[in-house]
Structures are given as structure tokens and as C-alpha cells.
Copies of this chain bind each other. A is one copy, B any other.
Amino acid sequence: MSEDIDFYFDFSSPYAYLGSYLIEPVAAKHGRKINWHPFMLGVAMQGEKSFPLTQYPLKGDYSRMDFERTARYHKIPFAMPTDFPKVTLGASRGFLWISREDPEKAVTFAKKVFAAYFVSGKDISDIEIVADIAGEVGVDRDAFKTAVQDAEIKAAFKASVEDIVFNRKVFGAPFFIVEGERFWGADRVGQLDEWLTRGGW
């Protein structure tokens, strides 16, 4: 039995963006599907009494440097957005809505949202910009804008975030779960790879 890899991310997390690149070759190597799950890191941080990395006095400067250095190390295009972090509720609800019709299209949309923020520096909290990206992947722009304000979609996304944080106990991003094994951080993708190779250790 070959289980999928669950990938939990926040569109505003630099390490989740980097992790989205790193997990792909590993999943392909092991013939695993990646299930993308956007959530709100802010909800997890509330419970953990944590803050966005860049808001810590010393860790903040280090983190900005490490995002860039780690991106260059892995040859992933990256430019730290000047306005950080962003609340990306619209993009996340939009992802959920697109994925109901077409999960693959939702992933293409997600990759473009990540790139818009972490490569092009666009404001992905602006629903007009996010709707443009939806349009680029062949989603009706107006229907998208309506959907992200739809009460049922809002409730479904809220329930999903609560399930992810409170039931699946995801407290950071990126977070990967495969065969019940939990890996937090872009820097644990190597162990995840080895875990699938060896079947644990």
C-alpha cells in the first residue's frame, strides 16, 4: 500500500514555499501523490504562543538571511517580499473551491500564488491579484471572487483549518505527514525521503 504525502502550508510561509519545491522530486521518486492543504499558520501560532519568524529580535534577521541562502542552495527562485507576512485567506479559500472541481488545477493555482509572492513580490492578500492568478489557470475570475466570499466555502475552510491544527496537530509550515509519520520543516524533507526508502528506522 502506497499512501499519499499530506503537505500542509500557509501561502505566506517562505519555508513552505521552499518545501513545496523540495517535496516534489521526493514524491516522484517514491511514486507518491502530494495532497496540498492550505491552512492558517496564524491559528496554529495563537495556540503555540509563537510569532512569524521575522518578528523575533535576533531570529528575525537570521531567518531572512536563511530563507535566501537556503533558496540559493537548492537553486529555487526566491526574493523575500518586503511586506511580510500576509494574511492569505482569499487564496486559501479559493484553493479549496478550485480543488473541489479539479485538484490538479488547484495545485497549479497554488504554485502560481507562491511564485507571485515569493518571486514577483505581488500582494497575495489582494483578492484582485489572486483572482488574476485564478484566471491564468483557466478559472472564471468573477466566479472565483464570488466563491471566496461564499458562506459555505468560508465555513468549510474554517473547519479544515481547525481540523488541521486541533486534530492533526499541525503547528508549523511546511508540515508533511505520510503513513502517520510527521515531518515539520523544509529541512526534514531529506529524512522523509529516507523514511520512505527504508520504511522507517
Contacts and interface: CB of A to CB of B under 8 A. Distances in A.
Nearest to A165: B58
B185 A187 contact: yes
B169 A69 contact: no
B69 A59 contact: no
A57 interface: yes
A182 B50 contact: no
Interface in A38-61: 44, 47-51, 56-59, 61
A57 B171 CA distance: 9
A194 interface: yes
Chain A interface SS verdict (over half): helix
A65 interface: yes
Stoichiometry, as copies per complex, reads 2
B171 A73 contact: no
A102 to B, nearest CB: 32
A174 interface: no
Contact of A56 (B61, B171, B201): B171
A70 interface: yes
A84 interface: no
A72 B191 contact: no
Nearest to A70: B191
Given A72-B201, A73-B194, A59 B48 contact: yes
26 contacts: A47-B57, A47-B58, A48-B56, A48-B57, A48-B58, A49-B51, A49-B56, A50-B56, A57-B171, A58-B169, A58-B171, A59-B184, A61-B169, A62-B169, A62-B171, A62-B184, A66-B184, A66-B188, A69-B191, A69-B201, A70-B191, A72-B201, A73-B191, A73-B194, A185-B187, A187-B187
Interface of A: 44, 47-51, 56-59, 61-62, 65-66, 69-70, 72-73, 169-172, 182, 184-185, 187-188, 191, 194, 201
